[in-house]
Amino acid sequence: MTFALYFTLANRKIWDRLSQSIRSAFTKEDEINGTTVATIPYLTGVIYEGTLPWYFANSALRIRPVAAQGIQRDVPPEGVMIAGRFIPGGVQSN
């Protein structure tokens, strides 16, 4: 769900349409509740698409996996052996 929200916010066309559909559905803040929000078709579609397992497998996780790639690690001051090679201390590795 996190990346479904991220992609919604990152895609201006989707965000604008979603924002407009929500804003046009209500005139007062106290009208907004779970029941009334569930009647907004575009919002329901965005949530539905963002929570389907196949959607994540084929879209969100493919584009932005849960596990970060390229995690930087600081080598300890004394250095370390990695796969038979010595990496000096203070170096950042990916």
Looking at the 3D structure of the chain, how many domains does it have?
2
Q: Are residues 10 and 48 in the same domain?
A: yes
* DSSP SS3 for 93: strand
Question: Tens of pLDDT along the chain (94 residues)?
Answer: 676 787 788 889 989 999 999 999 999 999 999 999 999 999 888 877 766 655 445 555 555 556 655 667 788 899 888 889 898 888 876 6
Residue 58: predicted pLDDT: 52
What is the pLDDT at residue 68? 58
18 lies in which domain range? 2-63
| Shared-domain flag, residues 6 and 30 | yes
Is the same domain home to 9 and 55?
yes
Same domain, 20 and 36: yes
On whether both 26 and 43 belong to a single domain, the answer is yes
Q: Tell me, what's the pLDDT at 5?
A: 80
| Whether 87 contacts 75, CB under 8 Å | yes
CA torsion through residues 34, 37, 29, 14, sign = positive
